[in-house]
Chains A and B, each alone.
Chain A
Amino acid sequence: SAVISQKPSRDICQRGTSLTIQCQVDSQVTMMFWYRQQPGQSLTLIATANQGSEATYESGFVIDKFPISRPNLTFSTLTVSNMSPEDSSIYLCSVERIGTEAFFGQGTRLTVV
């Protein structure tokens, strides 16, 4: 298993500002994933972050809006830029090792006002 610490757990932000979410894992992992979960919806993958390379973004998500850093094998950040109310969501960090299940942080509940 893996223990994932995600910060902040929640935040209320003004529109037009940016928020950076941190994800710390208790062991080294190759792949880290960032998800968005909008109210009443399931998980939508934003991007995959591999250490040492640029993140790979899913359709509908762009680097300018959701820049990601992956400086080492235990840490990643996701920034939600120039926020609007439509960005209000839960953002989740996830890790998995090849051939095993995914583990999640407790999530960041973001409200944009």
Chain B
Amino acid sequence: EDQVTQSPEALRLQEGESSSLNCSYTVSGLRGLFWYRQDPGKGPEFLFTLYSAGEEKEKERLKATLTKKESFLHITAPKPEDSATYLCAVQAGAGNNRKLIWGLGTSLGVNP
């Protein structure tokens, strides 16, 4: 069964304290892994797409990496404005049968 598991469920960091969020997945025929940020009361905001093991993407203080079984979202020297829920999703299937399988997210809080 296709499944996405994110850990930890919640994480609180001090400003400047780097850490990593994990997204492990089991899916038949991975066609992409996506990271999103979601602020309270808003829709998810796209961050990164990763397609193959070994791929890395960076944006400001965030860096996403992908292996055959999991992805990490590394947060370097976080700031309070990085506080949000980070969602991971994998795309399974193809064509009109494709769908996104979502994790439950990691709620990140960054203390000033």
Contacts and interface: CB of A to CB of B under 8 A. Distances in A.
Contacts of B43: 4, 6, 92, 94, 104-107
Interface of A: 1, 4, 6, 31, 41-45, 48, 50, 90, 92, 94, 98, 100-107, 109
A45 B42 contact: no
Contacts of B46: 1, 101-103
B104 A41 contact: yes
Main secondary structure of the interface of A (DSSP, over half): strand
Contact of A43 (B41, B87, B95, B96): B87
B104 to A, nearest CB: 5
A45 B104 contact: no
A63 B89 CA distance: 26
A103 B100 CA distance: 12
Contacts of B87: 42-43
Contact of A107 (B32, B41, B98): B41
A45 B99 contact: yes
A104 B102 CA distance: 14
Interface string B72-112: 00000000000000010100000110111011110000000
B94 to A, nearest CB: 9
Contacts of A102: 34, 46, 89, 100
